[in-house]
Amino acid sequence: MKINKLNSIILLGLVAIISILVAQLLWTKEAFNLEQKKLSQKAHIALLEVARKLYEGTNHELPAVNPVQKIANDYYIVNVENDFEPDILEFYLKSEFKKMNITTDFEYAMYNCQSDEMVYGNYISLSQKGKSKQTVYFPKHKNLVYYFAVRFPNETTYLFSSMRFWLILSTVLILILLIYVYSIFTLLQQKRYSELQRDFINNMTHEFKTPLSSILIASKYLIEQNAIKEDKKLHTYTDIIINQSHKLNNHIEKILNVAKSDHTSLELKTEPVLIVPIIEETITNIQLKYPEAHIVIETNSPDYTVQTDVFHFTNLVYNLLDNAVKYCNEKPEILIRISRENQFLKLEFTDNGIGISPKNITSIFDKFYRIQNEKSNEVNGFGLGLYYVKEICNLQYWKINAINNSEKGITITLTIPYKK
């Protein structure tokens, strides 16, 4: 299966984020092990110091073998080979743990050789949250007579709290991954909907073109018949059928071009073009359709040349003039001003139409967008004309914007990079 560019970018992004997340989780695990090792070392030193304190004032010395044994991650026993008081043991444990900055809760028990069992001592809360006395089983150990045991019941929670930064970073990365996955899912879904829409438009328009072609052929044949020519009403009606069929055909072609440009970019065959003659020819075509329109070109040079595609530039000008005439309640007056400003050529299309409300003017170049007003109900269209104009400008890196005039109508300005 061929992987397109979008799928490749999605796949690479997903692999990169998952790799970062896996690395972060491994670092977090390593940090947890390191914190666990640090706590174990501090607990070992503190318990060894407690054993030394218990030996002070006695005739015994610490055994040569290390008296502190780690039985489990949260459980230690200390062989002291000497009798001791529980209160003294608790005091030493508190003070030595405080010195070593061990702030997690702990509990201890002592072996009673008379009863041959471990006697629970106390639960010591070194954190802010106190806790009542616990009943926890402390196992006995063979070959030891005088010893005590210490357990850290909240060791895991304590270790996680000490590595809060790593946990927050991991959580943020997981959230980013989830957002990325959701965004990709939404993007693919939108892409699928777009493809379905494009396929529907292509199928619909092609289905329309076949009967429309038949209507045009039949109508053109019909209007040439003597019986139709002699009957003024029939000739008028046939002419209306032909004109409306051409109009519908233009709409279909426009929809097909937009659908094609959404799938693959329009290919422009650019060449140096004198734009004034093209605009004049387009004005002639517009005035054949709208004889009442008065369109004037204002320029200080008829020799302005730009690099563009003749076909699409002609369509661009035609769409702008066609819109200016259609959305006008009086005799259309359109001024096309061509001027040079530094390294740019400006084409301004100023009309005396109905204008556009400020909140809607930024949306007029959107696909299928039509402003709801009394004129839009009269004018046929799909909201694709200005969208097409915008696409042609974008492909050539031209800028286009629209503003309302001070009195009435709007001015659409094309800003074109210009090299003499």
Question: pLDDT at position 1, please?
Answer: 40
pLDDT in tens, the chain (420 residues): 444 666 777 778 778 778 877 887 788 788 888 888 888 888 888 888 888 887 775 666 666 567 888 888 888 988 886 777 888 888 888 888 888 888 888 888 888 776 777 878 888 886 655 555 555 667 777 777 778 889 888 887 777 777 777 777 778 877 877 887 788 778 777 777 777 767 776 666 667 777 877 888 888 888 888 888 888 888 888 888 887 787 777 767 766 666 665 555 667 788 898 999 999 988 988 887 888 989 999 998 888 899 998 888 988 998 899 888 888 888 889 999 999 888 899 999 999 888 888 787 877 887 766 665 555 555 555 567 788 888 889 888 899 998 988 888 899 999 999 876
CB within 8 Å of 154: residues ≥ 6 apart? 104, 105, 127
Pairing of strands 333-341, 344-350: antiparallel
Question: 207: part of which helix (H) or strand (E)?
Answer: helix 164-223
Tokens of 155: 């060791």
Q: Decide: 325 and 384 in contact? Cβ < 8 Å.
A: no
Residue where the block lists tokens 């799909």: 382
Q: Would you give the distance in Å from CA 326 to the centre of its chain? A: 39
CA 38 – CA 126 distance, rounded (Å): 18
Sheet containing strand 344-350, strands side by side: 294-299, 333-341, 344-350, 410-417, 399-404
Any idea where the domains of the chain sit in the sequence?
Answer: 5-162, 193-263, 271-417
CA 336 – CA 351 distance, rounded (Å): 9
Task: Output the CATH code of domain 271-417.
Answer: 3.30.565.10
Question: pLDDT at position 279, please?
Answer: 92
Question: pLDDT at position 26, please?
Answer: 83
Question: pLDDT at position 336, please?
Answer: 92
Q: In 3D, which of 158, 156, 120, 122 has the Cα closest to residue 139?
A: 120
Question: pLDDT at position 350, please?
Answer: 92
